Amino acid sequence: MDDTLLLWLIGSASAAVVTMAVLVVVKLVHRSYGRWRGVRSAQYVAAVGELISRSILPERPHPAWRDDALFHDALVNYRLSLVGSERGFVDELVEHLGILDVLRSRMRRRHSTNHRLQAVSTFVDLATESCIPDLRQLLADPNAHIAIHAAKGLSRLRDTESVGAILDRAAVAPSWHAARLADALTGFGYEVGPPVRDWMILEIGADEPPVATISLAIRVLGQVSDVEAEGLLLELLASDFREWRVAAASALGHVGGDGAVLGLINALDDESWPVRARAATALGQLAAPSAVDHLEPLLSDPMWWVRQNSAEAIGRLPGGIRILVDALGSEDAYAADAALYQLTMRGEVAAAIERTRTESQTELDAELLDRVGAMPTTMAAPPVAGLSTGVAV
């Protein structure tokens, strides 16, 4: 064998052995470190639990408690799971140990992004009303994730004065960031309604309104069920921006009353099919009997989602099942397909079969089954969302 080849083989084997040994050592060290962290975390959890049960602020706390992130995590776990006086004691303990000051120091920009994010996350979970100025400042941080954490903290503390600033940040942020900020606003609950509406009214009249952000604000109003927003939403339902009309139609399904029905019925004639689809769903959610006659023609709409949303809404309304059964015999295959799909999804076909089996069949059951049996065996399948119709609505 060539000496060079032999030396190469010996060197390769030696390198492989050394590499394997290093991997084994690293794995053992990592396992030992993880076990050590687990033991230490358990000790901290036990120590905090003992202090809470006795309501004792330690005169000589362990030096590691103030700076150790694992101890901070133990405090967070207790604070998020406790209520009343016990949570108040955790706040006292955090202040007594000066932990918020430690976290404030670690949130400064001279630290690495990962360390800052960890500190901000813990700070948000431990924050009290005294921390609101810090969170407002973090809301303007260049790092998007830190701003999102700050918005969540302000939401948890119900600082409604910061709502405008959160929306202002969303207006200049990428779409994913703006959506996360809007999610944080929903955490305020119904209290977020008035400041969101105030911000929207100012921005709607601007020369170049932030269309996407206003759409997100509309969604927030719907998610928190701000019934006072009905009038504003009806105005936006008739706006020139399709995004606002789509969002307003959706929101009205959650917050609208009798006064919203006419506006939604008018929206069934909108040139944009997503608006028609959302308006149909909203009318079903509002259980508006007067909408049935206006929804029925949409069973023949050119767009699949409009047909299906209309059929679903009809099925929710008084006398709607009768209308869907009649549609099974329609000369319009699209209308028949929409009706069959919804009757099947609602379990009406299966229920009719079961009542027939138990000899409790109704006249409508018999008509339903006759028409289903007379239909073609292959009906149009629903499209994949986003493939042929844009997006699901």
Q: Classify residue 67 by its DSSP letter.
A: T
The secondary element (H helix, E strand) that includes residue 228 is: none
Record the tokens describing residue 34, joined without a space: 């993880």
Q: Classify residue 107 by its DSSP letter.
A: T
Over the stretch 151-202, which tens digit does the pLDDT of each residue have?
999 999 999 999 999 999 999 999 999 999 999 999 999 999 999 999 999 9
Q: What is the pLDDT of residue 193?
A: 96
* Residues 21, 29: Cα–Cα separation, whole Å: 12
Indicate the SS3 state at residue 128. coil
What's this model's pTM, rounded to 2 decimal places?
Answer: 0.81
* Residues 339, 367: Cα–Cα separation, whole Å: 14
Q: Which of 70-84, 216-230, 326-340 has the highest mean pLDDT?
A: 216-230
* Chain centre distance of CA 254: 16
Indicate the SS3 state at residue 224. coil
Record the tokens describing residue 14, joined without a space: 């030696």
Q: In Å, what is the CA distance from 211 to each residue of 98, 233, 270? A: 44, 14, 19
* Every domain of the chain and the residues it spans: 34-126
For the chain, how are helix, strand and coil distributed in percent, rounded to 5? 75, 0, 25
Q: Pick the residue with more confidence: 385 or 41?
A: 41
Contact 306, 298 (CB under 8 A): yes
**Average pLDDT for residues 24-33, to the nearest whole number?**
56
Residue whose C-alpha is closest to residue 117's, from 86, 150, 79: 150
Q: What is the pLDDT of residue 340?
A: 93
* Residues 185, 26: Cα–Cα separation, whole Å: 44
**What string of DSSP letters covers 138-165?**
HTT-SSHHHHHHHHHHHHHTT-GGGHHH
Q: Which of 16-25, 80-89, 237-246 has the highest mean pLDDT?
A: 237-246
Considering the chain, what is the average pLDDT of its residues? 88
* Residues 124, 192: Cα–Cα separation, whole Å: 19
Contact 99, 91 (CB under 8 A): no
Over the stretch 283-329, which tens digit does the pLDDT of each residue have?
999 998 999 999 999 999 999 999 999 999 999 999 999 999 999 98
Q: Is the pLDDT of residue 234 over 70?
A: yes
Q: In Å, what is the CA distance from 289 to each residue of 19, 52, 293? A: 75, 57, 9
**Average pLDDT for residues 62-82, to the nearest whole number?**
88
Record the tokens describing residue 317, joined without a space: 């309304």
Contact 146, 103 (CB under 8 A): no
Q: Is the pLDDT of residue 131 over 80?
A: yes
Burial (CB < 10 A; 0-12, 13-18, 19+), residue 29, is exposed
Q: Is the pLDDT of residue 6 over 70?
A: no
